[in-house]
Amino acid sequence: MIEQAIDRAVAGTDQRIRAIGQYRKRLRQPVEFAVAHVIALVDALPASIEISPRAFGVDPLLRTFFVSTDHLREVLGSFKTLRNYLTDLTDPLPEQIFGLLSMDMEERKGFGMELVGDSLRRDVLQVTVNFSHHRYLGPTSDEMDTRRELKKRAFDFLIEKALERIARERSKRRELDHQWHLLQQKLNTMKAGNWGLDLMLTDHEQQHSDIATLEAEIEAIERELGQFHTDHLGLEESLASVVDTLSHPAAWLASREIRLHLDPMGIKIQDLSTASCKGIVLTEIFSGTGERRIVLLGHIARTDIPEPANIWQEAKRYL
């Protein structure tokens, strides 16, 4: 598995790395770190739950993620991954499809009303929690198969981050080179005194200050450019980006628990001493680059997946 993961890491980033001697040896430990991390990350997900209109009334998580049973059916019908999975199957269709439900969580502040005892308070600052952009990843007919698929996707995510670092370094070098030429041109123009009306409207001391600032900026860019041998990222730099990314997988992909107390309207309950509802525990997957999603491992009955809308029938009914 580690050997295959090494091949996948190289193929997904800079395949020229294969020209470096002992590249497999240098990648082995970082890949082992990354593989162990994604395995632990996915294995830590709670057991799958039923996602259905029937379970909506009894499962507090489903009532949190969906507004109503109609909303739940609408979301299930929008999952293209489910339909593509069932369409591509050659075996008998499974009764249950396992996968990872993921959503965006958004908190909005606003003013509303709150009942305190027998009195109704107005203009109370409230925080409403909404869930949107539902997705369903890794559909399979078995929970273990789905977990294996999610581990592959998590490892590929780390590879993508390594590739982004390589691309960013290349882009940074081109940007620095371009900026150096622009600043050098500006400095030469200022030294030649050909600076239009700005030269007339600026005192002598300020001119020297501007030139000194420009010279300092150019020297800083030259020092940074001097760290690179060519305009193209070398193989060692590419390998170093892959090694560093896979050596610190938790910095790029991790999970955490979020505990919430919400009323039936999705409003955060601030005073837990007066709250009668039970708290819920959410699992959030987040990245060091800012991506974050709430996830839930679940299974959906094939019979609960709505049929796709018939455009002609909808148009006929409308007309």
pLDDT tens-digit map of 107-148:
887 776 665 556 666 666 778 889 999 999 999 999 999 999
Rounded mean pLDDT, 188-208: 47
| Domain finish residue from 189, 208, 234 | 234
Residues 146 and 280 in one domain: yes
Please check whether residues 258 and 223 belong to one and the same domain: no
Question: 243 pLDDT exceeds 80?
Answer: yes
Residue 40 lies in a domain: yes
**Per-residue confidence at 88, pLDDT binned at 50, 70, 90?**
confident
Q: Are residues 270 and 216 in the same domain?
A: no
**pLDDT score at 10:** 92
**Within-domain flag for 126:** no
The residue among 214, 234, 254 that closes a domain is 234
Residues 143 and 178 in one domain: no
Average pLDDT (217-244) is 71
Please list the alpha-helical segments (H only) found in 192-203. Answer: 196-201
Q: Is pLDDT of 101 > 60?
A: yes
152 and 46 in one domain? yes
pLDDT at site 276 = 56
Helices (H), 202-310: 204-225, 235-247
Q: What average pLDDT does the structure give for the chain? A: 82
Neighbouring residues of 111: CB distance < 8 A, sequence distance ≥ 6:
123, 124, 125, 126
* pLDDT at residue 95, as a whole number: 93
The answer as to whether 122 is a domain residue is no
Q: Could you give the 3-state DSSP secondary structure of residue 187?
A: helix
Same domain, 282 and 208: no
Spatial distance between the Cα atoms of 236 and 16, rounded to a whole number of angstroms: 10
* Mean pLDDT, range 63-78, rounded to an integer: 92
- Residue 127: inside a domain, yes or no? no
Q: Give the mean pLDDT of 225-251.
A: 79
The yes-or-no verdict on residue 172 having pLDDT over 90 is no
Indicate the pLDDT class of residue 105, thresholds 50, 70 and 90.
very high
Question: What single DSSP character describes residue 228?
Answer: -
In a domain, 125, yes or no: no
Q: Output 185 or 240, whichever has higher pLDDT.
A: 240
pLDDT at 92: 86
Same domain, 144 and 260: yes
Question: Please, which residues bridge with residue 267 across strands?
Answer: 128
pLDDT over 70, % of the chain:
75
Q: How many domains does the chain have?
A: 2
Q: E strand or H helix at 137, and its extent? A: strand 119-140
Q: Are residues 270 and 260 in the same domain?
A: yes
Query: What pLDDT score was predicted for residue 206?
Result: 47
pLDDT band at 231 (very low <50, low <70, confident <90, very high): very low
Domain assignment present for residue 297? The answer is yes
- What span, in angstroms and rounded, lies between the C-alpha atoms of 214 and 229? 24
Looking at the fold, whether 88 and 224 belong to one and the same domain comes out as no
Does 45 share its domain with 183?
Answer: no
Using one digit for the tens of pLDDT, what is the confidence trace for 262-279?
A: 877 777 776 665 555 568
Phi, psi of 135 (to 5 degrees): -135, 155
The average pLDDT across 55-82 equals 92
d(CA 140, CA 84): 11
The answer to whether residue 195 scores a pLDDT higher than 70 is no
What letter does residue 288 receive in the DSSP assignment?
T
Among 121-125, 174-178, 256-260, 305-309, the range of highest mean pLDDT: 256-260
How far apart, in Å, are the Cα atoms of 133 and each of 9, 12, 102, 109, 126?
A: 30, 28, 8, 20, 23
- Can you give the pLDDT at residue 184? 67
Whether 120 maps to a domain, the answer reads: no
Check whether residue 156 and residue 282 sit in a common domain: yes
Same domain, 66 and 200: no
- Closest C-alpha among 124, 52, 115 to residue 264: 115
Of 6-10, 100-104, 136-140, 304-308, least confident by mean pLDDT is: 304-308
Q: Using CA atoms, how far apart are residues 258 and 7, in angstroms rounded to an integer?
A: 36
Residue 111 lies in a domain: no
pLDDT range class, residue 171, cuts 50, 70, 90? confident
Structure confidence at residue 302 (pLDDT): 92
Least confident of 196-210, 246-260, 283-297: 196-210
Among 234, 264, 294, give the residue marking a domain's end: 234
Range of the domain at 177: 164-234
If one counts every other C-beta atom within 10 angstroms of the C-beta of residue 99, the result is: 26
